[in-house]
């Protein structure tokens, strides 16, 4: 298995790293880029509860277990 690391950078140059689900990194990466990335742009990175809830329910059709929360875990860790 391979690790999938998520890097989030703010427009102020602050960055954070998180580790996402490593089961299938191609799917995890695609979920992050296509579902979560558009929701993160323009958000306050310190508003983690709002971001998590918004992102989770945006990806909810993909299921409440498996790839969606595994991908969101990497994003959430990077924000913290």
pLDDT along the chain (80 residues), means of 10: 88 94 88 91 93 80 72 94
Whether the CB-CB separation of 17 and 1 falls below 8 Å is answered with no
pLDDT in tens, 5-17: 999 999 999 999 9
Whether the CB-CB separation of 68 and 14 falls below 8 Å is answered with no
- Length, in residues, of the chain: 80
Token pair belonging to 57: 């329910």
Place of tokens 């990497």: 74
Q: What is the pTM of this model?
A: 0.84
């Amino acid at each position: 298995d391979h690790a999938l690391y998520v890097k989030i950078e703010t427009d102020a140059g602050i960055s954070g790293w998180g580790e996402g689900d490593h089961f299938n990194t191609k799917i995890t990466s695609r979920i992050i880029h296509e579902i979560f990335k558009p929701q993160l742009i323009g958000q306050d990175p310190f508003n983690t509860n709002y971001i998590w809830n918004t992102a989770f329910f945006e990806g909810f059709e993909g299921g409440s277990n498996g790839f969606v929360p595994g991908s969101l875990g990497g994003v959430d860790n990077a924000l913290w």
